[in-house]
């Protein structure tokens, strides 16, 4: 039986999004009888100084943690050095582990890991699958990462394109992302869409009476507008912050922020500068065990994505919201991936970034019409159960691997 070798910077017990998705798939495949290996780092996403075991077997998955520097995400230079050291260590590990007809599955953390994976696959006669969570370097360019201009960008793009064309298939997490790959000249039969997933069997709609966090967090008599997950460079918060001004004098409206990311602390500072401290509550990421409660605290969730990165990334938090049976407000381009789903299944509102009035109107509507909010939440859960459950996604991945093998 040929082996499956996954490559990603984070893996169980790390709780970052890419780690959880990869861990779910790896454990599922190992349980189904496949030989699964994971090449990863010894670090945790929120703790680069962590040093997990170099080799271990977890639930049937063989984990190989290679050495890398641990400067963390605070500076671009440090992050770049971490990437470079991981590329080098991963290349050595793949050359030592892979053999003919094995399948190497390269995710996109760190960016361009598909390039050393391609080189190792060529030397060892292995097959390559790229699992794209975003499209690099385009997303870095759109987010203003310095240095990625001119010849450097062209060279990086050329290398990336070679890895996409070499791969037996490229798995993307959205239809618009598939369109982006097609525009790069990747053949349609080498592109497969498998959306990410959440733990929809654990995360289910809860009534307010069933949720202990409401009392614990002092939110029992509040209308809660929630955000859960990473608030990073691909997102924006000014539209929601401006909308919060309209509820400044209403003590019964709370904007609940759960998570972290590049913009998370900036939003906290901006809210304080405007004198909106009483309107906002900030909490760190919640553990997997608590997530089933925290996602059900808000009456409505919001998601944001900058227009220029549509098709380059898909907010995976969308599915956790749907699992919790809550309506959502997508502050995105109306033609974006998530926006189209929200409109198609009538499970919330879509607001263009910067359209504060429409956002305020949507919040006022949901606050004043609990039946509408409940119906939208029910439709969100029905959408997930029909199209985006974890079981369905794992079956799609098994089919993709069978096609390659």
Domain range enclosing 367: 208-387
What are the E-state strand segments in 48-150? 55-58, 61-65, 103-106, 127-132
Asked whether residue 88 is domain-assigned, the answer is yes
Report pLDDT for 1: 60
Asked whether residue 203 is domain-assigned, the answer is no
Please check the confidence at residue 285 and state whether its pLDDT lies above 80.
yes
**CA–CA separation, 258 vs 269, rounded Å?**
15
Shared domain check, 393 and 382: no
Shared domain check, 188 and 47: yes
- Residue 82's pLDDT band (boundaries 50, 70, 90)? confident
Shared domain check, 214 and 170: no
Please check the confidence at residue 195 and state whether its pLDDT lies above 90.
yes
Mean pLDDT of 167-182: 97
pTM, two decimals, is 0.93
- Residue 49's pLDDT band (boundaries 50, 70, 90)? confident
Shared domain check, 216 and 185: no
Please check the confidence at residue 145 and state whether its pLDDT lies above 90.
no
Asked whether residue 345 is domain-assigned, the answer is yes
Report pLDDT for 16: 85
Asked whether residue 161 is domain-assigned, the answer is yes
**Where is pLDDT greater, at 153 or 11?**
11
Shared domain check, 356 and 342: yes
Contact predicate 27/60, CB 8 Å: yes
Report pLDDT for 294: 98
Report pLDDT for 150: 79
Mean pLDDT of 123-146: 94
Shared domain check, 337 and 395: no
Mean pLDDT of 117-126: 97
Contact predicate 299/223, CB 8 Å: yes
Shared domain check, 144 and 248: no
Report pLDDT for 146: 75
**CA–CA separation, 333 vs 331, rounded Å?**
7
Please check the confidence at residue 75 and state whether its pLDDT lies above 80.
no
Mean confidence (pLDDT) of the chain:
95
Asked whether residue 56 is domain-assigned, the answer is yes
The total number of structural domains in the chain stands at 2
Please check the confidence at residue 40 and state whether its pLDDT lies above 90.
yes
The residues, ordered by sequence, that sit 6+ positions from 210 with a Cβ below 8 Å of its Cβ are: none
Shared domain check, 93 and 27: yes
**CA–CA separation, 283 vs 146, rounded Å?**
31
End-to-end C-alpha distance for the chain, whole angstroms = 10
Report pLDDT for 185: 96
Shared domain check, 232 and 331: yes
Asked whether residue 21 is domain-assigned, the answer is yes
Asked whether residue 202 is domain-assigned, the answer is no
Report pLDDT for 53: 96
Helix (H, G, I), strand (E, B) or coil at 305: coil
Shared domain check, 314 and 268: yes
- Residue 69's pLDDT band (boundaries 50, 70, 90)? confident
- At 212-264, the pLDDT tens digits run 999 999 999 999 999 999 999 999 999 999 999 999 999 999 999 999 988 99
- CATH (domain of 232): 3.40.50.2000
Report pLDDT for 332: 97
Structure tokens that stand for 263 in this block: 């913009």
Mean pLDDT of 84-101: 96
Shared domain check, 258 and 180: no
Please check the confidence at residue 147 and state whether its pLDDT lies above 80.
no
Report pLDDT for 71: 81
- Residue 6's pLDDT band (boundaries 50, 70, 90)? very high
Shared domain check, 177 and 234: no
Please check the confidence at residue 76 and state whether its pLDDT lies above 90.
no
Report pLDDT for 47: 84
- At 312-358, the pLDDT tens digits run 999 989 999 999 999 999 999 999 999 999 999 999 999 999 999 99
**Where is pLDDT greater, at 23 or 49?**
23
Distance of CA 70 to CAs 45, 227, 269, 387, Å?
11, 29, 28, 39
Asked whether residue 309 is domain-assigned, the answer is yes
């Amino acid at each position: 039986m040929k082996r499956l070798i996954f490559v990603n910077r984070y893996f169980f017990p790390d709780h970052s999004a890419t780690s959880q998705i990869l861990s779910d798939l790896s454990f599922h495949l190992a349980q189904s009888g496949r030989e699964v290996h994971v090449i990863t780092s010894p670090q945790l996403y929120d703790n680069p100084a962590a040093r997990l075991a170099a080799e271990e077997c977890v639930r049937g998955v063989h984990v190989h943690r290679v050495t890398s520097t641990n400067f963390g995400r605070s500076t671009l230079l440090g992050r770049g050095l971490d990437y470079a050291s991981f590329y080098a260590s991963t290349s050595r590990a793949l050359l030592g582990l892979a053999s003919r007809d094995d399948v190497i599955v390269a995710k996109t953390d760190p960016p361009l890991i598909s390039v050393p994976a391609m080189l190792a696959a060529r030397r060892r006669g292995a097959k390559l699958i790229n699992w794209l969570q975003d499209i690099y370097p385009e997303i870095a360019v759109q987010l203003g990462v310095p240095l990625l201009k001119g010849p450097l960008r062209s060279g990086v793009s050329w290398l990336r394109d070679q890895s996409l064309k070499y791969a037996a298939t490229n798995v993307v997490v959205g239809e618009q992302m598939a369109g982006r790959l097609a525009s790069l000249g990747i053949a349609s039969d080498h592109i497969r869409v498998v959306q990410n997933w959440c733990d929809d069997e654990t995360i289910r709609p809860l009534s307010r009476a069933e949720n202990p966090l409401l009392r614990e967090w002092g939110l029992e008599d509040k209308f809660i507008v929630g955000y859960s997950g990473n608030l990073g460079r691909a997102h924006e918060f000014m539209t929601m912050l401006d909308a919060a001004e309209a509820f400044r004098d209403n003590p019964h409206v709370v904007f609940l922020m759960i998570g972290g990311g590049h913009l998370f602390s900036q939003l906290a500072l901006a809210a304080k500068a405007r004198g909106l401290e009483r309107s906002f509550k900030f909490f760190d990421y919640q553990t997997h065990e608590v997530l089933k409660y925290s996602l059900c605290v808000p009456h409505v969730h919001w998601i944001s994505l900058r227009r220029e990165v549509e098709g380059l990334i898909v907010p995976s938090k969308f599915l956790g919201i749907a699992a919790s049976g809550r309506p959502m407000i997508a502050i995105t381009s109306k033609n974006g991936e998530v926006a189209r789903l929200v409109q198609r299944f009538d499970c919330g509102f879509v607001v263009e970034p910067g359209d504060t009035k429409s956002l305020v109107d949507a919040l006022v509507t949901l606050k004043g019409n609990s039946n509408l909010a409940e119906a939208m939440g029910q439709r969100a859960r029905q959408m997930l159960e029909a199209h985006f459950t974890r079981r369905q996604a794992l079956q799609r991945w098994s089919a993709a691997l069978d096609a390659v093998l």
